């Protein structure tokens, strides 16, 4: 075979190979473009058991997402519009940490943390970045807020009586937020009387005992003054009994055991009382260990 013939065959073969490669790309490109949904945020990222509320999400490749799934038992989700849903948390749900996923035609997203609580919940109302505009909040409430712009500050006003203990806790890192929260409390004269930058990991908590009757302003801000939709938080104002830990931390089923509880706002009972071991028959948020408790009201500083 002459050199010209060899060259002609080579060119033809190259064209066939190139055409085949082009066809493969044309066939596979649409499939490659069908990416699984990516869930960046859900807001609010939790709610009270026994309630229904609207929830929004942000992320990418969410066009086909029309429902959310969760490991909350009995969780229900209704599609409202693009990236907006109405979810229902059953009244039998135990308070705690759960997960939520976005579900679309191309698969399942990675999970985002979803908290179920026991207190009524409110959404932050803007503007609230200066003390006169601080949002009034009743005690035993959870606020769902966002620092949505750089240098944003959120302020809330509470009423407390002298000697009243209020546990003020901000959840951010624990719920997949980028917020590095700083929590402060100010009195009516603008004096800062408490501050915390990290108690549970980098999430702050203040054990606040009101020095006098009156109103107090609680301020939330980012440590480096960042802002954006991924800087969200849950802020709890709690005056109810709150257990931090117990000794022992494990008891045997069916055996009466003396248990000492450590925490805040715990009731005082006789030291001779005992707690009956869990029988496993009760369930839901109203389940109790029993009325016989040995409790300890901690007086140390948790700031």
Are the C-beta atoms of residues 201 and 195 closer than 8 Å to each other?
A: no
Residues 223, 139 share a domain = yes
User: Does residue 31 belong to any structural domain of this protein?
Assistant: no
Residues 204, 254 share a domain = no
Residues 268, 250 share a domain = yes
Residues 245, 231 share a domain = no
Residue 206 belongs to what H/E stretch? strand 205-209
User: Does residue 102 belong to any structural domain of this protein?
Assistant: yes
* The pLDDT of residue 299: 35
User: Does residue 225 belong to any structural domain of this protein?
Assistant: yes
Residues 227, 137 share a domain = yes
Residues 209, 140 share a domain = yes
Looking at 117, 134, 167, the residue that finishes a domain is 117
User: Does residue 245 belong to any structural domain of this protein?
Assistant: yes
Are the C-beta atoms of residues 265 and 239 closer than 8 Å to each other?
A: yes
Q: What is the pLDDT of residues 183-228, one digit of tens each?
A: 999 999 999 999 999 999 999 999 999 999 999 999 999 999 999 9
Give the closest residue to 136 by CA, choosing from 168, 159, 164: 159
Looking at 117, 137, 153, the residue that finishes a domain is 117
pLDDT band at 34 (very low <50, low <70, confident <90, very high): confident
* The pLDDT of residue 33: 57
Give the closest residue to 113 by CA, choosing from 76, 70, 75, 74: 70
Residues 125, 227 share a domain = yes
User: Does residue 5 belong to any structural domain of this protein?
Assistant: no
The set of long-range contacts for 14-18, using a CB threshold of 8 Å and a minimum separation of 24, is none
Residues 98, 140 share a domain = no
Give the closest residue to 131 by CA, choosing from 151, 155, 149: 155
Rg (CA), the chain: 27
Residues 250, 185 share a domain = no
> Residue 282, class by beta-carbon neighbours within 10 Å (0-12 exposed, 13-18 middle, 19+ buried)?
exposed
- How many C-beta atoms lie closer than 10 Å to residue 82's C-beta? 11
- Tell whether the model's pLDDT for residue 31 goes beyond 50: no
Q: Report the CATH number at residue 198.
A: 2.60.120.380
Stretch among 4-13, 107-116, 178-187, 230-239 having the lowest mean pLDDT? 4-13
Burial 267-276 (b: 16+ CB within 10 A, else e): eeeeeeeebe
Residue 234 belongs to what H/E stretch? strand 232-238
User: Does residue 19 belong to any structural domain of this protein?
Assistant: no
Are the C-beta atoms of residues 149 and 198 closer than 8 Å to each other?
A: no
Q: What is the pLDDT of residues 212-269, one digit of tens each?
A: 999 999 999 999 999 999 999 999 999 999 999 999 999 999 999 999 999 999 987 6
Stretch among 14-18, 79-83, 133-137, 205-209 having the lowest mean pLDDT? 14-18
Residues 6 or more apart from 5 whose CB is under 8 A from it?
A: none
> What's the domain count of the chain?
3
CA distances from 133 to 22, 136, 153 (A): 62, 9, 11
pTM of the model: 0.78
Residues 141, 94 share a domain = no
- Whole domain around residue 277: which residue ranges? 241-303
User: Does residue 88 belong to any structural domain of this protein?
Assistant: yes
Give the closest residue to 228 by CA, choosing from 70, 41, 76, 52: 41
- Tell whether the model's pLDDT for residue 125 goes beyond 50: yes
Mean of the per-residue pLDDT values of the chain: 84
Q: Report the CATH number at residue 62.
A: 2.60.40.10
User: Does residue 45 belong to any structural domain of this protein?
Assistant: yes
Q: Give percent of the chain above pLDDT 70.
A: 78
Give the closest residue to 137 by CA, choosing from 191, 215, 210: 215
- Tell whether the model's pLDDT for residue 76 goes beyond 50: yes
Looking at 218, 238, 258, the residue that finishes a domain is 238
């Amino acid at each position: 075979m002459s050199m010209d013939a060899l060259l002609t065959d080579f060119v033809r073969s190259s064209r066939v190979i190139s055409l085949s490669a082009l066809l493969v790309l044309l066939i596979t490109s649409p499939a490659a473009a069908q990416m699984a949904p990516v869930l960046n945020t859900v807001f609010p990222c939790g709610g009270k058991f026994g309630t229904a509320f609207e929830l929004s999400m942000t992320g990418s490749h969410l066009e086909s997402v029309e429902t959310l799934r969760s490991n909350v038992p009995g969780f229900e989700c209704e599609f409202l519009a693009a990236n907006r849903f109405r979810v229902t948390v059953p009244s039998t749900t135990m308070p705690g940490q759960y997960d939520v996923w976005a579900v679309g035609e191309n698969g399942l997203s990675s999970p985002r943390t979803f908290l179920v609580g026991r207190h009524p919940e409110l959404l932050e109302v803007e503007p609230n970045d200066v003390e006169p505009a601080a949002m009034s909040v009743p005690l035993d409430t959870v606020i769902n807020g966002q620092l949505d712009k750089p240098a944003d500050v959120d302020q809330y006003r509470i009423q407390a009586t002298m000697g009243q203990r209020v546990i003020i806790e901000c959840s951010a890192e624990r719920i997949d937020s980028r917020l590095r929260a700083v929590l402060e409390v100010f009195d009516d004269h603008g004096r800062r009387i408490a501050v915390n930058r990290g108690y549970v990991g980098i999430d702050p908590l203040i054990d606040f005992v009101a020095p006098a009757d009156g109103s107090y302003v609680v301020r939330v801000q980012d440590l480096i003054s960042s802002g954006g939709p991924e800087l969200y938080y849950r802020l709890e104002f709690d005056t109810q009994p709150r257990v931090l830990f117990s000794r022992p931390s494990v008891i045997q089923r069916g055996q009466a055991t003396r248990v000492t509880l450590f925490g805040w706002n715990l009731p005082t009972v006789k030291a001779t009382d005992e707690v009956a071991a869990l029988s496993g028959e009760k369930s839901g948020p109203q389940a109790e260990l029993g009325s016989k408790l040995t409790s300890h009201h901690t007086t140390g500083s948790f700031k």
